[in-house]
Amino acid sequence: MIVPPVSPDQPVVADPQRLDQIVRNLLDNAFKFTESGSVTLKIARAETADPEDSALAVGTGAIAFSIADTGIGIEADKQQIIFEAFQQADGSTSRNYGGTGLGLSISRELAHALGGKISVRSKLGEGSAFTLYLPESHLQKSTEDGVEPLAASAGVQAYDESAIAPSALSTESEDGAAQYAGSVANRKALVVDDDPRNLFAMRILLERYQMEVLQAENGREALRLIAQNPSVAVVLMDIMMPGMDGFETIRRIRTDLNRPELPIIAVTAKAFPEDRERCIQAGASDYLAKPIDEKQLIVLIGSSLGN
């Protein structure tokens, strides 16, 4: 359940792209680590002062975006290391749930870039609450710099269950997607992702281009579906998954299933050059960073099919 209790007449102004990425990352983690119960998003004026930062104290107009869950929680002595790249509070977390990867590390850096900060409160076994604080002084400055206001009433729209970012494409990309639209139609795609929201979003996107879509929530299910469906024409592979991750799944498709020719596009939030290289070394045909641009994805699928 997501609850946005901010009235439409109190706009929240910030860099929409950065704000969207921070809240999306926090929500993704909350859903990932919450098997039962609830995930709640609240947007409101900050109610408590931060004595270490006058810009975020009560009375300065700080806005708090709080994402609370009833998930697995985090031990007190591990609540800061999780903001370091690729760190987990417990090694078993990655095996059971998939990693947080760069999500929290990037979110913290983006928050600093917006003049804010992220705090965490958590109790092991009872859940966590991550709060993004943004000072009103910075929000006002964003408006002066020409950044469009993001109405609070529309804030949750950006976090609708989708991994697909709004398109911001060149004419070349638009033309390319139109060129490949006919050639990808009626082809079978397998989408592999442990997050059901991402599976839903990708299925809707691909079906828009008349593709037939199979879905797998883990690597073992992906191997089974490929073995049972030799007509699968392309695989969209998430990398950070619990159990068998995307790297291992790709390797086993190439070796155990003997499918060296099958196009496999690695789809991951890891966006550094070395991450792309690691995907290619594992056997991926190509690589696409999240959030996904649908036109770029269709161009990539079409070209990988040799059309």
Question: How high is the pLDDT of residue 94?
Answer: 41
pLDDT at 5: 43
pLDDT(130) > 80: yes
Report the alpha-carbon distance of residue 136 to residue 61 in Å, rounded: 5
Cα 111 off chain centre by: 16
Tell me, yes or no, if the pTM score tops 0.85.
no
Mean pLDDT in residue range 238-256: 93
Distance from C-alpha of 53 to C-alpha of 184, rounded to nearest angstrom: 53
Give the residues across from 42 on adjacent strands: 66
Question: What is the reported pLDDT for 200?
Answer: 81
The rounded mean pLDDT for the chain is 74
Element (H, E) at 167: none
> Which contacts (CB < 8 Å, 24+ apart) does range 268-275 have?
268/238, 268/239, 268/240, 269/101, 269/102, 269/103, 269/240, 270/101, 270/102, 270/239, 270/240, 271/102
**Cβ–Cβ under 8 Å, residues 294 and 167:** yes
Question: Last residue of a domain, which of 133, 159, 185?
Answer: 159
Q: In terms of Cα–Cα distance, which of 256, 13, 22, 233 is closest to 119?
A: 22
- Least confident window among 27-41, 51-65, 182-196, 245-259: 51-65
pLDDT of residue 281: 92
Of residues 8 and 122, more confidently modeled: 122
> Which tokens is 90 given?
């417990």
CATH of the domain at 79: 3.30.565.10
Predicted pLDDT at 106: 75
Band (pLDDT 50/70/90 cuts) for residue 240 is confident
**Which one is predicted more confidently, 27 or 8?**
27
Residue ranges making up the domain that contains 90: 12-159
Share of the chain above pLDDT 70, in %: 69
| 133-189: pLDDT as tens digits | 888 765 544 444 444 433 332 233 233 333 333 333 333 445 567 888 888 999 999
In a domain, 85, yes or no: yes
Does the residue 65 lie in any domain?
yes
Same domain, 258 and 211: yes
Single residue among 126, 159, 192 that ends a domain in this structure: 159
- The whole-number average pLDDT for the span 185-194 is 94
Residue 49 reports pLDDT greater than 50: no
Residues 56 and 108 in one domain: yes
Is 165 part of any domain? no
